[in-house]
Amino acid sequence: MSHTPVLLEEVIKYLDPKPDENFIDGTLGEGGHSKEILKRTSPAGKLLGIDQDGEAIKIAGENLKEFGERVLLVQDNFANLKNIFAERGEKIGKVKGVLLDLGFSSSQMEKSGRGFSFERDEPLIMTLCWPIAPGQITAADIVNSYSEKELEKIFKEYGEERLARVIAQRIVLRRKSEKILRTSQLSEIAAGAYKKFYGNKTWRTRPATKIFMALRIAVNSELENLEKALPQALEILPAGGRLAVVSFHSLEDRIVKNFFRRESRDCVCEKILLECACRHQKTLKIITKKPIIPSLEEIEKNPKARSAKLRVAEKI
């Protein structure tokens, strides 16, 4: 199954790529957004594409090969955006926009074999970086070594899971008899917890959905990396350059919204202070007052787009 880029028309509308302008795609994936940007920035516009997944880099390289030397692909984490650009900026030049699409590609979910989906029986790996970096923790490491309290915290904070404590308890109990190494084992534990507390009630989302998301976020330090990447993207952009971020759950969106809000104000002091003491100066203006969401037509064609939100800001 080919990957369909989410909110493609809206991303292009707000980034507004023009001939010979340069862009950064900090979450390249399979290159869907990048391909459209490159079409519109011909004949000489360049694109720096970044992804920590080596398999995604290979796929994107094939999908974007028609653009030749206009494309520079780098396997790295967007949390290192400033250093990546510092090392390669001369080849790219001044950038007009930065895109961060925080979603997953279809191949990562369906073909990677890393345990991102509970619909397949796969090893509990869940690392976005591939091959796995030395010292990189996996989902199996967390599930089999973290304390009950630590697991509960991950499921509650990253997954907003109501049964976080119960599922954590069941994991600790299960691993006393066997290691939990497969997605099927973890999915079974979550389903058992839901059945015990809610009976055979039909749920809009599967019982394992939130704990799988929570583990993936924890394994890859996704929220911390996003917090690192946003100010770096803003620093790289010149005045008038735009930063577009597509998020897929409330935790990501909250980070983006709060960053945009903070950087669009001259003062970020506590309201109880009578005078400004922070000396903070606004660095951007918010272009999308409310997040842009997919149309019903797009959701019908691509159900995975339903939770997407696009926020855009412009550096001043």
- Return the domain boundaries, the chain: 8-107+222-315, 134-220
Q: Are 50 and 88 in contact (CB under 8 A)?
A: no
Q: What is the DSSP letter of 70?
A: G
Domains 8-107+222-315 and 134-220 share a fold: no
Q: At what angle do helices 32-40 and 8-15 cross, to 10 degrees?
A: 40
Surface-to-core class of residue 4, CB atoms within 10 Å of its CB (0-12 exposed, 13-18 middle, 19+ buried): middle
Q: What is the DSSP letter of 66?
A: G
pTM of the model: 0.93
CATH, range 8-107+222-315: 3.40.50.150
Distance CA 130, CA 38 (A): 26
Other CB atoms within 10 A of residue 235 CB: 12
**Architecture of domain 134-220 in CATH?**
Orthogonal Bundle (1.10)
- The strand pair at 22-25 and 47-51 is best described as parallel
Q: What is the tens place of the pLDDT at every residue in 3-39? A: 689 999 999 999 999 999 999 999 999 999 999 999 9
The residues facing 24 across adjacent strands are 48, 98
Helix/strand/coil for 57: helix
Provide the residue-wise pLDDT of the chain in tens; the chain has 316 residues.
Answer: 456 899 999 999 999 999 999 999 999 999 999 999 999 999 999 999 999 999 999 999 999 999 999 999 999 999 999 999 999 988 899 999 999 999 987 778 788 899 999 999 999 999 999 999 899 999 999 999 999 999 999 999 999 999 999 999 999 999 999 999 999 999 999 999 999 988 777 766 789 999 999 999 999 999 999 999 999 999 999 999 999 999 999 999 999 999 999 999 988 777 766 677 777 899 999 999 999 999 999 999 999 899 999 999 999 9
